[in-house]
Amino acid sequence: MSVVRIGLLGGSFDPIHLGHLALAKAILKDGCSQVWFVPCRLSPFKQEKPTSFEDRTAMIRRAIAPYKKMKVCTVEKELPIPSYTIHTLQKLKQRFDYEFVFYIGNDQAKLLDKWKDIEECMKLAEFRVFKRDSEVIECPYDLREVPFKRIDISSTRVRAGAFQDVSESVRNYIWEHRLYLHEFARHSMNEKRYLHSVSVANVCKELASAHHLNEEDAYVIGLLHDICKCWDVEKSERFMQVYEKDHLDEPKAIWHGYLADHYLKRVFKIREKHILQAVHHHVKGDCDDPYAQIVYIADKCEPLRGYDASYELNLAKRNLDAAVSYVKQIQSEYLKKEKKV
């Protein structure tokens, strides 16, 4: 009877990306019958709290659905935190009569002597290390090296907005469950603009509640309405030439609303027209869709603006049309005053 060799690929997978799938394919080429992705609940080497175990596992399932020899192993959900490999391997050996091979990268290999009960781990599974291109493996143990072409992809970069580096099914899940949107926003703008966007999002949610609209969608519109605000002029002009040529003669200060519509559609494949429409029209307030009216009002009246907008916000909770008209009037008077000064 032949031995079944299972390759184990552990990590946070927050989220799983195309680089992880490439590693899994390399493991299969290295002689393993299957690859098991083993998401950890909480790594002892990381301080930040990861996305929920359930969301990360669901994304792995979506990503590996086309590959019959790739599985997800949720054993660490049953184990105490932080997640130690020794506990994972002990549990797996109790349950399965397989030969396990645990694959790690050079960064992990450098710290291998700091792993809990590493000597015992190596009795339960063979450890192998990926050797990316010509890098020098630094490891206190003599591990078999597995050649692998370097791929410049990381979960950190994905969370910051490189969503092209995940499979389409994972990208859809990220949008459907509104994952990583704060990190995306924070990396897309300066701190002041990000704080403004969060404040707008909170007001949008409050106004949506008053009008029995979808609070989550309203919050997302507020959070992402200025996603293109900090783009430089050259980048903005390139996008405007492609997507909004008819508006090129309008002031550059309002371009970011038009651009956000197309950019978000490109990044997340968004299908919700009310979300795209709201960010598109949020600067000028020239759309009578309630979500567009809400973000227009919230953008002008959020608390960090530094003036008392309680009248406008109370009016908006009762009548969006009246509030939009009033805010436009106030804005017009303010701009006239500024020009005189």
Q: What pLDDT was estimated at residue 337? A: 66
Domain boundary residue, one of 156, 173, 190: 173
C-alpha to C-alpha distances, 235 to 1, 135, 259, 268, 308, nearest whole angstrom: 62, 36, 10, 19, 35
Q: Read off the pTM.
A: 0.92
- What is the C-alpha to C-alpha distance for residues 243 and 276, in angstroms, rounded to an integer? 14
> How does pLDDT run across 84-106, given as a tens digit for each residue?
999 999 999 999 999 999 999 99
pLDDT, average across residues 23-43: 94
Q: Are 225 and 251 contained in the same domain? A: yes
Neighbours of 135 (CB within 10 A): 13
Domain boundary residue, one of 112, 144, 173: 173
Q: Are 154 and 187 contained in the same domain? A: no
- The CATH number of whichever domain residue 58 belongs to comes to 3.40.50.620
Q: Are 162 and 132 contained in the same domain? A: yes
> How does pLDDT run across 197-236, given as a tens digit for each residue?
999 999 999 999 999 999 999 999 999 999 999 999 999 9
Q: Are 119 and 186 contained in the same domain? A: no
Task: Give the total number of structural domains in the chain.
Answer: 2
Inter-residue contact 181 to 220 (CB < 8 Å): yes
Q: Are 26 and 169 contained in the same domain? A: yes
Q: Are 315 and 191 contained in the same domain? A: yes
- Give residue 122's domain range: 5-173
Q: What pLDDT was estimated at residue 104? A: 95
Q: Are 279 and 227 contained in the same domain? A: yes
Neighbours of 302 (CB within 10 A): 22
- The CATH number of whichever domain residue 243 belongs to comes to 1.10.3210.10
192 CB-near residues (< 8 Å, 6+ apart)? none
Rounded to a whole number of angstroms, the CA Rg of the chain reads 25
Domain boundary residue, one of 141, 173, 205: 173
Q: Are 227 and 313 contained in the same domain? A: yes
Phi first, then psi: give them for residue 145, nearest 5 degrees: -95, 140
Q: Are 304 and 217 contained in the same domain? A: yes
Alpha helices (H) in the chain, listed in sequence order = 18-29, 53-64, 85-95, 106-110, 118-124, 155-159, 168-176, 181-188, 191-210, 215-224, 233-243, 255-268, 273-281, 290-301, 310-318, 320-340
> How does pLDDT run across 264-286, given as a tens digit for each residue?
999 998 889 999 999 999 999 99
Which two structure tokens, joined as six digits, stand for 323? 């509030």
Neighbours of 341 (CB within 10 A): 5
Q: Are 211 and 238 contained in the same domain? A: yes
Q: Are 77 and 136 contained in the same domain? A: yes
Q: What pLDDT was estimated at residue 138? A: 86
Q: What pLDDT was estimated at residue 339? A: 57
Inter-residue contact 236 to 262 (CB < 8 Å): no
Q: What pLDDT was estimated at residue 338? A: 59
Q: What pLDDT was estimated at residue 132? A: 87
> How does pLDDT run across 138-177, given as a tens digit for each residue?
899 999 999 998 888 999 999 999 999 999 999 999 999 9
> How does pLDDT run across 60-86, given as a tens digit for each residue?
999 999 999 999 999 999 998 888 999
